[in-house]
Amino acid sequence: MEDAGESTRGCENISDSEEDRCSENDFGTSKLGTKEFWDDAYQKELETFNDIGDVGEIWFGEESMSRVLRWMDKAKIPENAAILDIGTGNGAFLVELAKHGYKNLTGIDYSPASVELARSVLQAEKLTDVTVKEMDFLSCPKELKGFDVCIDKGTFDAISLNPVNTNEGKRQYVQALKDVLKDNGFFAITSCNWTKEQLLDRFSEGFEFVQELSTPTFQFGGKTGNSVAALIFKRVH
């Protein structure tokens, strides 16, 4: 059964058939792919945090962060590695990374309410050396580069659901990722909308597959599957 701590809010059903796995239109668009939805969601979470100190929902649950942190430990990612949290949301992962000892952290999000919330959460944790920027990853400036590790926990999912320029957005994401990562830098992605096979296809150019992280499984109709895919890639030329 699925781990109860593995939240899949924002996930949409996708086709499981072999011929659909690598197509440009794997599932329908949704309001979950719009900036307006996230502006509204994070504005509400910001107001809640200001009222009662609740940081809001942790995307995919706490285990999704622990899973990546365990991989970083095993991969011996140094504490001074430049790490980018793509679509930082409430900044919860930045908090965990900082508490884990990482010292060169940057989070970006295109929602101003998200950025304000993340900064407030970090300040409440007395983590003043973490950088959070209001920025759209698909059109990030050239100076955003040189990262050793990029982490995505649902942002590529949301981009894939955007009703406007969906396919172009996915291509822009891959190019932006190539631009911000150092050679041999790592990319950790957690997705509930894409299968392992689809992610391998999407990030086949300019990236090398490193490993799949263990995620909760479920059984249906005599078959076993994963509700979430978590993969590690390395930037190569």
pLDDT digits (tens, 9 = 90+) for 103-144: 999 999 999 999 999 999 999 999 999 999 999 999 988 889
Residue 80 has pLDDT above 90, yes or no: yes
* Cβ within 8 Å of residue 138, ≥6 positions away: 159, 169, 172, 173, 176
Query: Rounded to the nearest 5°, which phi and psi values hold at 220?
Result: -150, 130
Q: What is the pLDDT of residues 148-188, one digit of tens each?
A: 999 999 999 999 998 888 899 999 999 999 999 999 999 99
CB 56 within 8 A of CB 90: yes
Q: Using pLDDT thresholds of 50, 70 and 90, give the confidence band for residue 218.
A: low
Boundaries of every domain in the chain: 31-216+223-235
Residue 3 has pLDDT above 50, yes or no: no
Residue 8 has pLDDT above 80, yes or no: no
Percent of the chain whose predicted confidence (pLDDT) is above 70: 81
Q: Using pLDDT thresholds of 50, 70 and 90, give the confidence band for residue 83.
A: very high
Model pTM above 0.75? yes
- Per the prediction, the chain carries an average pLDDT of 85
Instruction: Label residue 226 exposed, middle or buried (CB < 10 Å: 0-12, 13-18, 19+).
Output: middle
The predicted structure's pLDDT at residue 223 = 53
Instruction: Label residue 79 exposed, middle or buried (CB < 10 Å: 0-12, 13-18, 19+).
Output: exposed
Q: Are strands 181-191 and 82-86 parallel, antiparallel or unpaired?
A: unpaired
CATH number 3.40.50.2300 given to 31-216+223-235: no
Percent of the chain whose predicted confidence (pLDDT) is above 90: 63
> Which region among 84-93, 145-154, 214-223 has the lowest average model confidence (pLDDT)?
214-223
Residue 13 has pLDDT above 90, yes or no: no
Residue 59 has pLDDT above 80, yes or no: no
Residue 62 has pLDDT above 80, yes or no: no
Q: Using pLDDT thresholds of 50, 70 and 90, give the confidence band for residue 60.
A: low
d(CA 178, CA 119): 27
